[in-house]
């Protein structure tokens, strides 16, 4: 039996994604060849790419006037592609953690970057509010889910400039009003596929406006025109993404994902809030992530942290250690994590308390 996979990423995928991809790696679409050894321009793989892009658009209800592309380089390459393609002189960023900082660092190569607000002083345990975005910024960048700190912006903002979002760790976890965004990007290795493919949704009318030369591979238009096949795409991750997208659709789409994620998170946050041995690191309930649930031992039981980790690990909990920069625990509850896994972790926490409290 598999252990309960709470890994923050790469992370749990639906069983059907793993099974179908494993089968295709042996014999892809009846070709008798492995998915890894056929041309990406074969009719069988072109059909995979076409269906993946179409389902991506369907499930997020992406309006006309937007393009969806799959590219390489991870979300980290998007930190530079976004300003390369959209920033003439000035951009604004909300500093909600490590990934936002890495994104800002790249944008600074292209001009002035305004940090509109930051929660750094309290180790990013809340989402700043009540800030002003300069009206002359070319875009405003947010990280909707902060994988390391367990905070999440769970609604679509109305802002005065084009909105860009890193949705690496919460894409497909809830319905998104894409019309409110200029661009959405993310690495696939949480809710979608193995690492290796990156998704980008962009409003077409925003492209082609920069005076600068953009290197071919870093220009969004290249990948739109090339239908995500300008260069050889990561075929295995794209195939796996298609299996996950079909699974999401079968489960009832992103609204069904949201409901399941809210149910799972409520069970775990309730235990964190009521068990005397544990406390959440994100106090403000509206800022609490439904994807990465971070908690620590209360002061009285602090010295039992290592013991709880070993206790839970022995009971089959995997990947619950907090990020090395914050410590404590982090249980990632992505779309594919069954509620039974959350219940198993909660049972561990209850049992540990009956021994020690």
| Annotated binding-site ranges | 41, 75-76, 99, 147, 166, 189, 231-232
Binding of ligand PMP by 12 (CB under 6 A) = no
Binding of ligand PMP by 101 (CB under 6 A) = no
Nearer to ligand PMP, 45 or 79 (CB): 79
Q: How far is the CB of 300 from ligand PMP (least distance, A)?
A: 32
Nearer to ligand PMP, 76 or 318 (CB): 76
The answer to whether 99 is a known catalytic residue is yes
**What are the b/e assignments for 141-160, b being 16+ CB within 10 Å?**
bbbbbbbbbbbbbbebeebe
Binding of ligand PMP by 333 (CB under 6 A) = no
Nearer to ligand PMP, 75 or 235 (CB): 75
Pairing of strands 66-71, 198-203: antiparallel
3-state helix, strand, coil in the chain (%, to 5): 45, 15, 40
Among 96, 147, 173, 219, indicate the residue that binds ligand PMP (CB under 6 A): 147
Distances in whole angstroms, Cα of residue 30 to Cα of each of 19, 38, 191? 16, 12, 28
Q: Which of 235, 220, 189, 180 is nearest to 82 (CA)?
A: 220
Alpha-carbon 317 to chain mean position = 22
**How large is the angle between the packed helices 253-274 and 339-356, nearest 10 degrees?**
0
The answer to whether 203 is a known catalytic residue is no
Pairing of strands 317-318, 4-5: parallel
Distance CA 342, CA 332 (A): 10
Distance, first Cα to last Cα, the chain: 31
Phi, psi of 107 (to 5 degrees): -60, -30
Binding of ligand PMP by 335 (CB under 6 A) = no
Among 6, 28, 93, 99, indicate the residue that binds ligand PMP (CB under 6 A): 99
Distance CA 169, CA 152 (A): 10
The answer to whether 166 is a known catalytic residue is yes
Please give the residues from 269 up to 298 whose contact with ligand PMP meets the rule CB under 6 A: none
Please give the residues from 151 up to 210 whose contact with ligand PMP meets the rule CB under 6 A: 166, 168-169, 187
Which of 138, 154, 170, 190 is labelled catalytic? Answer: 190
Q: How far is the CB of 347 from ligand PMP (least distance, A)?
A: 28
Beta bridge partners of 141: 93, 164
Binding of ligand PMP by 150 (CB under 6 A) = no
Which of 166, 203, 264, 287 is labelled catalytic? Answer: 166
Nearer to ligand PMP, 35 or 193 (CB): 193
Among 52, 62, 75, 290, indicate the residue that binds ligand PMP (CB under 6 A): 75
Q: Catalytic amino acids?
A: 99, 166, 190
Binding residues for ligand PMP, per CB under 6 A?
A: 9, 74-76, 99, 143, 147, 166, 168-169, 187
């Amino acid at each position: 039996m598999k252990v309960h996979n709470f890994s923050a990423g790469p992370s749990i995928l639906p069983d059907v994604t793993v099974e179908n991809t494993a089968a295709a790696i042996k014999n892809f679409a009846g070709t008798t060849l492995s998915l890894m050894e056929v041309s990406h321009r074969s009719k069988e793989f072109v059909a995979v790419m076409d269906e993946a892009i179409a389902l991506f658009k369907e499930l997020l209800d992406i309006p006309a006037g937007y393009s969806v592309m799959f590219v390489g380089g991870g979300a980290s390459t998007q930190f530079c592609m976004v300003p390369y393609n959209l920033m003439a002189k000035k951009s604004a960023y909300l500093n909600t953690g490590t990934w936002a900082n890495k994104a800002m660092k790249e944008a600074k190569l292209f001009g002035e970057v305004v940090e509109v607000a930051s929660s750094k002083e309290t180790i990013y345990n809340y989402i700043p509010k009540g800030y002003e975005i300069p009206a002359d910024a070319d875009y405003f960048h947010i990280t909707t889910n902060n994988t390391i700190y367990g905070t999440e912006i769970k609604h679509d903002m109305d802002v005065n400039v084009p909105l860009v979002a890193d949705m690496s760790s919460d894409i497909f976890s809830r319905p998104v009003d894409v019309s409110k965004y200029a661009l959405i990007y993310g690495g696939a290795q949480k809710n979608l596929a193995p690492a290796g493919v990156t998704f980008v949704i962009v409003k077409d009318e925003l492209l082609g406006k920069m005076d600068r030369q953009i290197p071919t591979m870093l220009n969004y238009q290249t990948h739109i025109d090339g239908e995500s096949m300008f260069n050889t795409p990561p075929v295995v991750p794209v195939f796996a993404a298609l299996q996950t997208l079909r699974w999401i659709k079968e489960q009832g789409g992103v609204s069904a994902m949201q409901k399941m994620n809210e149910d799972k998170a409520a069970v775990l946050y309730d235990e964190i809030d009521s068990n005397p041995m544990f406390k959440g690191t994100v106090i403000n309930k509206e800022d609490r992530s439904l994807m990465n649930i971070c908690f620590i031992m209360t002061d009285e039981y602090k010295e039992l942290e290592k013991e709880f980790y070993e206790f839970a690990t022995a009971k089959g909990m995997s990947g619950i250690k907090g990020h090395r920069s914050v410590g404590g625990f982090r249980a990632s509850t992505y779309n594919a994590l069954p509620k039974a896994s959350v219940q198993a972790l909660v049972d561990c926490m209850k049992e540990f308390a009956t021994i020690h409290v």
